[in-house]
Amino acid sequence: MKQPRNQPEFSRPLQVDRVPKAGSVERIAADPPECRALAARMNLPAIHGLSAEIRATPWRGGGIQLEGHITADLEQVSVISLERFRETVSLPVSRYFLPSGAAAEHQAEDDADLIEGGWIDLGEVVAETLALDLEPYPRKPGEAFAEHVEDSPGTVSEESPFAVLARRKPQ
């Protein structure tokens, strides 16, 4: 079943005005259907587990700072052997959110996202962070590209191509 376009596969909304002044620690995890939907979104064979522990702290004029880490158990396809392999990745997450009025005042804050309707979707923050930090050309551990044939001694003629053509020219 496909999600509506505006509905994220992994949604864990956090109401901004309910975050205490001392901050709060949010622990979230994707269930199996959410993992399957995220794997399809990220073009991965599978995501077996996805969890995060994120500390939400009030920040600058009604904003929120998110810091924590993400752990994902996933499968990827090696660009060398085209074999699937499983790995666990651990990633830091650090994001800043400002309400739209405060965002206009702090235009220098290019890294701050907007708080929409008083909510931040922690699940989408986790999904975006994972998607952006995945290795674009994954390799199984220990795999390496084979030595190029051109780099092997004796396989490429050291003779100039013009010398070869000169020998072919009728005299």
* 57 in a structural domain: yes
* 132 in a structural domain: yes
Type of residue found at 43 = N
Domain boundaries, position 141: 13-146
Quick one: pLDDT band at residue 168, thresholds 50, 70, 90? confident
* 1 in a structural domain: no
* 156 in a structural domain: no
Residue-wise pLDDT tens digits, 137-155 = 999 888 877 765 555 555 5
Quick one: pLDDT band at residue 3, thresholds 50, 70, 90? very low
* 96 in a structural domain: yes
Beta bridge partners of residue 55, listed in sequence order: 25, 67
d(CA 134, CA 123): 17
* 47 in a structural domain: yes
* 133 in a structural domain: yes
Q: For 6-22, what is the HEC assignment?
A: CCCCCCCEEEHHHCCCC
* 171 in a structural domain: no
Quote the longest CA-to-CA distance of the chain. 93
Helix (H, G, I), strand (E, B) or coil at 105: helix
What does pTM read for this prediction? 0.76
| Total domains present in the chain | 1
